Every structure is written in structure tokens, then in C-alpha cells.
Amino acid sequence: MGTTQLETVPEPKYWHLKTVLSEALDSDFAVGEVLPNERDLAARFGVARATLRQALEQLELEGRLQRRRGVGTTVAPPRMGVAVGSGEHVWPGAAGDAWQPVDCTETLPAAAVARLLDTEPDETVHTVRRTRVSRGQPVAAELLYVPAASVPDLPAIDAPAGPARARAVLRELQRLGLEGQDRAVELGSARADDARELDRLPGAPVLVVTTRYFTEDGTAAVSVATYRADTCRLTFGDSGDLEISHHEQERRAS
């Protein structure tokens, strides 16, 4: 094969600087240390401040740096490992679940979620919102979609929403016989709601993990969990199985 057009494009100057800066962060700076100001850094590495700024922004996206208001740019701690599954199939809310229920409302799911649930386009479902915190830092936000047919005996509690309603939906799911689950992982951008939950700007890179929970009757629930891509390293438990389908453009982990 011949040389592609991309192979002839030189590496951007800021990208080379990012590599040099990354090595410097490992050797010359400690976690939490504040970096020198942009003028001093640009002089140290012999580059224009615009080039330096591009490199710093890329390192921030990759989770190597953190910009803290009133403090400056600091060296970020290593990415934290966040387990998103185990060899054992369990319902959300089971013992040992690290998620905290925040709210539950009846909403109309997005078309893609409705297809996964095999519900009618105009059918509302119970939508449980949960968050996950690690080391005191918000790392993930989840929307768990549960059709009414999956929890027909959901108790009629006074509050139609809130954490109590969320816990009630999760308890009802525990009564079902879980046959299996599958996961798809993809890169995405934080929506406004997710950004507020995760203390990020809208559009920030995130990892989106979509999980389907199956009973003998079909899909009983769908979880869409959004993880901070700058701080999280997802792990998949004991099995570690990862299936990549090039034909369907789906990536699944189970």
C-alpha cells in the first residue's frame, strides 16, 4: 500500500510539546504540585504561549493536569480504577453496589433506549438517577431505565419521585430472575445534566457504558452510565471479556 495523506502530515508542534511535558510531569513534578505560570513554562521549553496552551489543554483532557480556580494548574493524581462489572451477574442496587440513588421519575426515554427496552416510542418508563463517588470526587452519573412491566408490583408510595422512589424500584428489580447482561462502552461528550453531576464542562470527554439486563422475558432494564474520562480507568471484573464487532460497530464487555 502507498503512503496515505495523513502519514505525510508532520506532528503538530503542540503535540510534540505535550509529550515532552508529560515526561516532565513524571520526573520533575509531584502529584498536586502547582505548575509555573505560562510565561515561565513557555520560556523553559522555548515555545510560544499559544503552543504551550494547546499542549496544556490536551494534557488536561487526558487527565494529567487539573485546573483549579484560585490555585492554578496542578499535576493530577493517577487515574482511579473503577470496576464496572464482575463475573457474577447482579441487578443494580444489589449488596456491594457503589452507586447512590438520587431520584426517580417517569420519563420518555430516548429512541435508542426505547429500542433496547423494546418499549413503544410514546411509553414512559421509571428513570432512576444515581451517582458514584470515589475518593470524595464524583466519577460517574447513571440513568437506569425500567419499564413498568418489569416492576408491576411497585408499591404506591406517597412521593412519586426522589431517593425513596428510586430505592423502591431497585428493590422490585431484585425480585426478578436475572438471566444475564451485556455492556457496550463508547467515547462520548458530557451532556449538560451529566456535566453538572460530574463537575465538568458540557462537552467534556466521557466514557459511556450502556448495560442491558435480561430476564427470561427479555430486556428488563437498561443502564446508561457516564464516567469521567479524565480520571477513570474502567475495569471489567473477573472475566475481562471484551467483544468487538466490526460489522455492527458495537463494542461490548461482559
How confident is residue 161, by pLDDT bands cut at 50, 70 and 90?
A: confident
Residue 243 has pLDDT above 70, yes or no: no
The set of cell numbers assigned to 10 is 508532520
pTM: 0.70
pLDDT in tens, 67-97: 777 888 888 777 655 566 655 578 998 888 8
Segment 34-55 mean pLDDT: 90
Residue 250: its pLDDT value, please?
Answer: 37
The set of cell numbers assigned to 110 is 430516548
Residues of the chain with CATH 1.10.10.10: 6-75
CATH class of segment(s) 6-75: mainly alpha
**Which range (44-48, 63-67, 142-146) has the least confidence?**
63-67
The set of cell numbers assigned to 146 is 425500567
Residues of the chain with CATH 3.40.1410.10: 80-253
- Outline where DSSP puts E strands in 2-161: 65-68, 72-75, 80-83, 100-107, 125-134, 137-146
Residue with cell 513554562: 41
Residue 183 has φ and ψ, to the nearest 5°, of -135, 145
Q: Residue 168 in contact with residue 158, Cβ under 8 Å?
A: no
Residue 249 has pLDDT above 60, yes or no: no
Angstrom distance (rounded) from CA 163 to CA 70: 34
Other beta carbons less than 10 A from residue 130's beta carbon? 25
Q: Residue 113 in contact with residue 145, Cβ under 8 Å?
A: yes
Average pLDDT of the residues of the chain: 81
**Helix 49-61 vs helix 13-28: angle between axes, to the nearest 10 degrees?**
70
Q: Tell which CATH architecture fits domain 80-253.
A: 3-Layer(aba) Sandwich (3.40)
The set of cell numbers assigned to 30 is 509531584
Residue 6: its pLDDT value, please?
Answer: 43
Give 151-166 as a DSSP string. Answer: -TT----S-SSSHHHH
